[in-house]
Amino acid sequence: MLQPLAYLHDSELVARFQRRCGLVLVEAARHDRSRGRTRAPTGTPVHNGGQREGSPDHQDQNSNFKHKENGCAVSACSRPQYEVRNWPLHFLFLFSAGLGHELFYITCLPCIHWSLDPFLCRRLVNMWTLVMYVGQVMKDVLKLPRPLSPPVVKLEPRVDAEYGLPSTHAMAATAISFTVLLSAPSRIQFQFEVGLLIALTLSSLVCLSRLYTGMHSVLDVICGALISSVILFLTYPYWEAFDRFQLTSSVSPVAALSLPLLLSYTYPELDRYTTTRGDTTTILGAGAGCSVGYWVNQQLGQTFEPQRGALPVALPALTANALALGGARFLVGVAALLGTRLVAKTASLRALYSWYGVAGNDAGARRRREIEVPYKFVTYTTVGLVNSILVNRVFLLLGLL
């Protein structure tokens, strides 16, 4: 049983996939250290001062032949670290990987609320928040390393310090694609087979992109998709009941704010800093803000759900006027969310720095739990509230609905 798992977790398996897709390492690793110089041929892991090969520290210092000098990541030489031989696949996988980043969540997901159906957006946000929290916690509990470089090319160094299993990109892609597929038939008229094909295609592209970017092993991706599928299967029978509680219960807004905040503060501690706690707080905060916003809309009797007749309704026609209105909503909505994010982030950080007596130029202050958790939670809760309550009302004032 362990042998197949070790095979699926092997870095060389990821490197072979990258080479087949036209992404190839072209440099040898080279480390200048105070005790001497270490050089290794391409495809050979570099051993660092007694660090265990495969450990997180070893992995961090061997990401695409980079090492630390005076605390800064330095490339081994000025030549390119990898060669792209298939540009169409390269851009396809980079775009697919982008579907799991913050920029996608803060721009494209709200468009479902603004231009399609707030009901679907609510379901998406609920499931996205749940699966991402589970995935992030599992990473920091299991502590399985990401693929090693070399032999793997790593295209996203920001998250390289995080642990690997499961792939939260794979989890989010599976949850988002199939939550829409399972929820949409009661709301929108469409051919289920076509929706299934789209869901499978999008989730598969995101999963494969994690191999192409070198950030996950095959085992990470498979486990991510399977865990997300299990969560969908176990929670699906309760979606309707949760909808009623979320929209009508007087306890809903209190639970929506207190539980995510508690989960953010009790996130598992690590022996080194990674971005997972901050990213998880971001997700929980956005989910909390949206949840409270949906409850407020329900109490005000203005949910902005489709009013075009009995459900399920037909998909709106893609006329020039509809596309223009959709584009205008996108630009106004994204500007509102990004502006809210900037203001809330700046204000919360200044307040926390003042409270804890921290200098504004202290780069490490944001990593402290007592600062990172509240500033991210406040920032993204505010973003969620603006998305779910205010943006559609701005559209009404501007005549965009």
43: DSSP letter: T
Does the annotation mark 169 as catalytic?
yes
Return the bridge partners of 23, or none: 84
Name residues whose C-beta falls within 8 Å of residue 230's C-beta, 6 or more positions apart in sequence.
Answer: none
Cβ atoms of residues 173 and 85 within 8 Å: no
Residues 289 and 382 sit within 8 Å (Cβ to Cβ) = yes
**Any idea what the Cα angle at residue 103 is, between residues 97 and 105, rounded to 5°?**
90
Cis? peptide before 45, omega within 30° of 0: no
- Cβ atoms of 109 and 330 closer than 8 Å: no
Contact (CB, 8 A) for 206 and 97: yes
The answer to whether residue 216 is catalytic is yes
DSSP state, residue 389 = I
Looking at 184-275, list the stretches that DSSP marks H as alpha helix, in order from N- to C-terminal side. Answer: 192-212, 218-235, 239-248, 252-265
CA 160 – CA 268 distance, rounded (Å): 18
Q: Which residues of 201-223 are buried (b: 16+ CB within 10 A; e: fewer)?
A: ebbbbbbbbbbbbbbbbbbbbbb
CA torsion sign for 332, 337, 340, 346 is negative
Q: How far is CA 193 from CA 20, 183, 198, 205, 213, in A?
A: 31, 14, 9, 18, 30
**CB-based burial, 350-363: b 16+ in 10 Å, e otherwise:** eebbeeeebeeeee
Per annotation, catalytic residue among 9, 31, 67, 216: 216
- List the structure tokens of 41: 């041929």
| Tokens matching residue 153 | 């090319």
In the set 9, 67, 113, 169, the catalytic residue is 169
Would you call 25 exposed, middle or buried from its count of C-beta atoms within 10 A (0-12, 13-18, 19+)? Answer: buried
The catalytic residue positions are: 169, 216
